[in-house]
Amino acid sequence: MEEVFQNGNYQREANANMNAMETRKEDCLLDHMEISIVEAEKRANRALNLREFYTVYLIETKVTDPDFKNALTRISSLWRRYTEFELLRAYLEISYPYIVLPPLPEKKVLYAWQKVTTDTFDPDFVDRRRAGLENFLIRVASHPILSRDEHFMGFLQQTDGWRESVKETGYLQIAESKLKALSVAVRLRKPDKRFETIKNYGIELQNNLCNLLRVRARLVEKQHSLYKLHANYGRVFSEWSAIEKGIGDELQKSGHYLDSLAATIDTTLEEEELIADQLKEWLFGASALQAVVRRREALQLAKDEAHDALTTAFEQKDKVMQGKTGLMSRLFGSVDTEEVRELKILQLEQRIAQHDETVKQMDEDLKSFSIKAIMDIDRFQHQKIVDLKETLAAYCVLQFKISSHRTYHPHRHPYNLHSSIKSFMQHLALELLESHPKYTFNYGVHDPHTGDVKTQHEMRDGDVVHGSYSVNEPDGSVRIVEYTADDHNGFNAVVKKVGPAIHPKPVPIVKYVSPAHFNSYDYEKHY
């Protein structure tokens, strides 16, 4: 996938001296302004005698660059509802269809488990959504194109009239027509292979993150229940210590330890929920990536339809010029006069000119869209790898942190555990995110005391795996298994034995005959 993004980066064709790093360093709003959402508040709406609650979020902005002139004011604070965030994103999606838009946080709880409430007014959920909305604004403000939009600046600082100014752009009418076009299943005659690959990658990324979040929810459910079971044991030990004089202190210490162990899980899982929110951001980001591809497909479909209309007009003109008439004319014997024929040709030529202009314009629009989309998808890919590496590494460090309450002792392990785990997990995450995995693995055991002798070797290049393993049999021979696996042929293995089979000589069975015993009667009779 990385190769597709790099090969399709038309920005390098436009400017050979500009690379991807320079693109990401392009000037944006975040270089001149601080943006934060500092507070959330629950309010009531009493319209039509119905009491309805909703949440508003306080956005604060501060201009940090004294030379920056595009802000409406130097310092501002205003309240916005979640629906206004949705309005902003819908406007940006219509105005910049080639950009992979940053996603909004979930409106309802996804992948919940027993301790996570599904109440959207729960303080913990509201605070996590506040952090997600702030992240959305920062993502938009750090984008070199989106951050320059005047309506985005109005969203941040315009207290009154912002909603009306956005609606005046006419984006709602455009959105309705776009939705109708996108709702139809598109089957292109000649799909662009680059965007087909990107679409498939987006689907894979979405499925992988869905599975990861689903498994994580199940794991957390069991983990939480296990730790709370320790609390029950802690209570039992504490009560037991009251009636045991000899081991009372030890029982009480054990009870306190189990109580403290059970108490650690709540704080840890709260941290883990924040990590899950970061994974959900890229889950929604995968959907945004697919949406860009669908919008391009709609453009290509419109271009193909315009080209078909042009071809049809040419065919009709050829028939009129050759004097070929329609079926009805042949049946009723009517024949066009020369004047009528010239008039039809003139009308068809005008139609051809219109269709030709439409095809050229749509072709230019499609090329422009493709160039801009590939550039932004490349930016999306780089940001995704950086963020997911950090997120997955943080998740694994958190799991080691949970285990350290029972197994990790700092005085026994002088090395930097956090740094080692983070480095390892970043490398592992990069391997997981690559669309073309490649590795080599070797393993061996030679223990003369137990007779355990075995080896294994495996090599992967993309979807093709080659490997082998060997094990010493009890008869002295070596069993070797060589295997290959790929998407086309599946798994195939060849088993062979090397070396002579030496069977141990049978051990003779010695029959033990117990000595005769004399009873007292025989003893006395004999003597």
Burial of 92 (C-beta count, 10 Å sphere; 0-12/13-18/19+): buried
**pLDDT in the model for residue 407:** 46
Dihedral, CA atoms, 347, 349, 355, 358, nearest 10 degrees? -110
Residue 37 reports pLDDT greater than 90: yes
What pLDDT is recorded for position 24?
44
Res. 418: pLDDT tops 70: no
Q: Residue 417 pLDDT more than 70?
A: no
Q: What local confidence, expressed as pLDDT, does residue 21 receive?
A: 40
Read off the pLDDT of each residue in 335-349 and give the average, rounded to a whole number.
78
Q: What percent of the chain has pLDDT over 90?
A: 28
- CATH architecture of the domain covering 186-304+364-435: Up-down Bundle (1.20)
Residue 522 has pLDDT above 50, yes or no: no
Mean pLDDT of the region 310-332: 71
Evaluate if residue 341 carries a pLDDT over 70. yes
What is the pLDDT, as a whole number, of residue 230? 74
- 102 vs 399, more confident: 102
At 338 the three-state DSSP class reads helix
**Greater confidence, 306 or 117?**
306
Tell me the per-residue pLDDT of 423-471, one tens digit each, with 9 for 90 and over.
Answer: 545 554 555 455 566 767 676 777 776 677 878 888 888 778 888 888 7
Cα gap 70→423, rounded to integer Å: 42
Alpha carbons 357 and 421: distance in angstroms, whole number: 60
Residue 50 has a pLDDT of 59
Q: What is the pLDDT, as a whole number, of residue 25?
A: 55
Q: Is the pLDDT of residue 216 over 60?
A: yes
If you average pLDDT over every residue of the chain, what do you get? 77
Four-residue CA torsion sign, 228, 231, 233, 236: negative
Residue 335 binned pLDDT confidence (cut-offs 50, 70, 90): low
* pLDDT given for residue 469 in this prediction: 80
Express as a percent the part of the chain with pLDDT over 70: 75
Domain extent listing, the chain = 25-183, 186-304+364-435, 438-498
Q: What global pTM score does this model have?
A: 0.67
Tell me how far apart the alpha carbons of residues 339 and 76 are, in angstroms, rounded to a whole number: 72
pLDDT of residue 321: 78
Nearest to 282 by CA among 191, 178, 221, 207: 207
Question: Per-residue pLDDT tens for 374-408?
Answer: 999 999 999 999 999 999 888 888 888 777 655 43
Asked if the model's pLDDT at residue 487 lies above 70, the reply is yes
pLDDT of 1 reads: 44
Structure tokens at 487: 């998407």
Give which of 317, 276, 289 is closest to 203, Cα–Cα: 289
Say if residues 269 and 224 touch (Cβ distance below 8 Å): yes
So what's the pLDDT on residue 461? 82
Interval 136-162 mean pLDDT: 92
pLDDT bracket for residue 36 (50, 70, 90): very high
- Max alpha carbon distance in the chain (Å)? 156
- Residue 422 confidence (pLDDT) above 70: no
Least confident of 2-11, 272-281, 294-303, 477-486: 2-11
Half-sphere exposure of 275 (CA within 13 A, CB side): 22
Q: Is the model more confident about 152 or about 500?
A: 152
pLDDT higher than threshold 90 for residue 104: yes
Distance from the Cα of residue 495 to its chain's centroid:
40
Residue pair 382/285 in contact by the 8 Å Cβ criterion: no
Return the number of other C-beta atoms located less than 10 Å from residue 417's C-beta: 15
The pLDDT of residue 414 is 40
For residues 185 and 244, which has the higher predicted lDDT (pLDDT)? Answer: 244
Q: For residue 455, what is the enclosing H or E element?
A: strand 452-461
Planar angle of CA 197, 458, 475, nearest 5 degrees: 150
Give residue 15's pLDDT band: very low, low, confident or very high (50, 70, 90).
Answer: very low
With a cut of 60, say whether residue 307 has pLDDT above it.
yes
The kind and range of the H/E element at 401 are helix 338-407
pLDDT at residue 33 in the model: 92
Q: 34 or 445: whose pLDDT is higher?
A: 34
pLDDT at 288: 94
> Given this model, what pLDDT does residue 224 score?
81
Average pLDDT over residues 240-249: 76
**pLDDT score recorded for residue 259:** 78
Q: Which comes out higher in pLDDT, residue 323 or 154?
A: 154
Instruction: Identify the residue with better confidence: 2 or 90.
Output: 90
Report the pLDDT averaged over residues 104-122: 79
At 139, the pLDDT band (50, 70, 90 cuts) reads very high
Give CATH superfamily name and number for 25-183: Phox-like domain (3.30.1520.10)
Which of 145-159, 173-187, 340-354 has the least mean pLDDT? 173-187
Half-sphere exposure of 362 (CA within 13 A, CB side): 20
Nearest of 269, 34, 315 to residue 157 by alpha carbon: 34
Q: What is the mean pLDDT of residues 368-378?
A: 94
Reference 495, options 477, 483, 509; nearest CA is 483
Q: Which of 68-77, 248-257, 319-328 is the most confident on average?
A: 68-77
